[in-house]
Amino acid sequence: MFERMRPHPPGSAITAALAFAGRTDRDNMAQASALSVLLKMTSGSTGVVAAVQEFLARPLTTQAKEAVLNGIANSHTKDQRLVQMLATALDDPDEGVKFTAAQGSQRLPKEATLQAQPSLQRLAADTSQPTEVRAAAKSALQKVR
């Protein structure tokens, strides 16, 4: 959609997508998809970071959270605020969200993965976590060694 437009979409299209993502009466998965596209295009934008932060603060389904976390990871961002959101998700009570955050950490640049290292180490060492969650955290840690 937007990311394939050349030249990039006008600011008014990005503003409209941000407004859509900020509504509370729309489908969360559609909003998560819109945010993922915006992250890929303009991940360091203050407006996009704020929209992602506000979105993740809402009560969401596991799938919606995972979609946004994958959007952060796929943006290959170094933005500390976005990396912190991914690192915070490593402590989510839902194991699917934790797994997605750990896997996503593997797709971030090394400098960004370093920022999430303490949370990844804690998760990798926690024997109460499911095997796949611990394995994903260990895999992400391999990137920073």
Provide the percentage of residues in the chain whose pLDDT is more than 90: 70
Task: With a cut of 70, say whether residue 53 has pLDDT above it.
Answer: yes
Q: What are phi and psi of 132, to 5 degrees?
A: -70, -30
Average the pLDDT over 28-49 and give the result: 87
Ramachandran assignment for 108, one of left (phi > 0), alpha (psi -120 to 50 degrees), beta (any other): beta
Task: With a cut of 60, say whether residue 5 has pLDDT above it.
Answer: no
Whole-number Å distance between alpha carbons of 17 and 10 = 11
Average pLDDT, the chain: 89
Q: pLDDT at position 84, please?
A: 94
Whole-number Å distance between alpha carbons of 102 and 105 = 5
Average the pLDDT over 17-22 and give the result: 89
Q: pLDDT at position 11, please?
A: 66
DSSP 62-74: HHHHHHHHHHHHH
Domains detected in the chain: 2-142 (1.25.10.10)
Q: pLDDT at position 43, please?
A: 62
Whole-number Å distance between alpha carbons of 133 and 41 = 29
Length of the chain: 145
Q: pLDDT at position 64, please?
A: 96
